[in-house]
Amino acid sequence: MSGLRERKRQRTHDTISATAIRLFLERGFDAVSVADVADAAEVSKPTLFRYFPTKEDLVLHRIGDHLGEPARVVAAAAGDPVAALHKHFLDGLAQRDPVTGLNDVPEVLAFHRLVFETPALAARRAGFIDEDEAALASALEAATGEPELMAKLVAAQVLAVQRVLARENWRRIMTGTSADELYPAAVDAADAAFALLRPDTATARRERAGPSK
């Protein structure tokens, strides 16, 4: 019976989520109330809030699946954590993971536009980034033995690189480039960006620049 209840719960969760996102895409996030979603999904408001504590959660739970992912990558890495994060991002590009921005499925593009262009959702997403940054810093400190401040700085840099790369991929796809066409350039950009995070690359850049004046 517990398995049946869990499947029923998951169906209700998925129905509410799909209904909410459909309404938000059709009418805009601010124009749709929680009551509208509950009515369309044929559940009560208290039931809806048991599954999704806030209106923003109706959308961002999909992104929440990736929350803490960079820290998990570092925790599982056998070697250089930045290299592991680099490889993980490249794997995401190859798999057209939406989190990398390299995905041209119309429904995914519409979802990204909803998140990026809705202030309330963008603000809540910024909170996710803060949580990811703190978790990644802790994982880096444990994996490398770096001082806390250095781990925080690296974590902030890594997440900034991933965020900028993903937004640039999304921007170029929105201008008409397909994910397959963009893939080689996206890999090159990721390689160049992550190289900037490597101490040996930073040292080489300083040596090429010569002594400061």
Do 12 and 46 reside in the same domain of the chain? yes
pLDDT value of position 138: 97
The parent domain of residue 149 ranges over 66-199
pLDDT value of position 211: 52
Q: Which residues of 128-139 are buried (b: 16+ CB within 10 A; e: fewer)?
A: eeeebbebbbbb
In a domain, 207, yes or no: no
Which spans in 44-96 are helix H?
Answer: 45-51, 57-64, 69-76, 81-94
Share the mean pLDDT of the chain: 90
In which band, very low, low, confident or very high, does the pLDDT at 207 lie, cut at 50, 70 and 90? Answer: very low
**Average pLDDT for residues 154-182, to the nearest whole number?**
96
pLDDT exceeds cutoff 70 at 72: yes
pTM greater than 0.85 (yes/no): no
pLDDT value of position 200: 60
**Average pLDDT for residues 191-211, to the nearest whole number?**
64
Better-predicted residue by pLDDT, 13 or 207: 13
Residue-wise pLDDT tens digits, 95-143: 999 999 999 999 999 998 999 889 999 888 888 889 999 999 999 999 9
pLDDT value of position 83: 95
Do 101 and 164 reside in the same domain of the chain? yes
Structural domain count, the chain: 2
Do 70 and 51 reside in the same domain of the chain? no
CB distance 121 to 29 below 8 Å? yes
**184 φ/ψ sector (left φ>0, alpha ψ -120 to 50, else beta):** alpha
CATH number at residue 31: 1.10.10.60
In a domain, 213, yes or no: no
CA pair distance 72, 178, nearest whole angstrom: 30
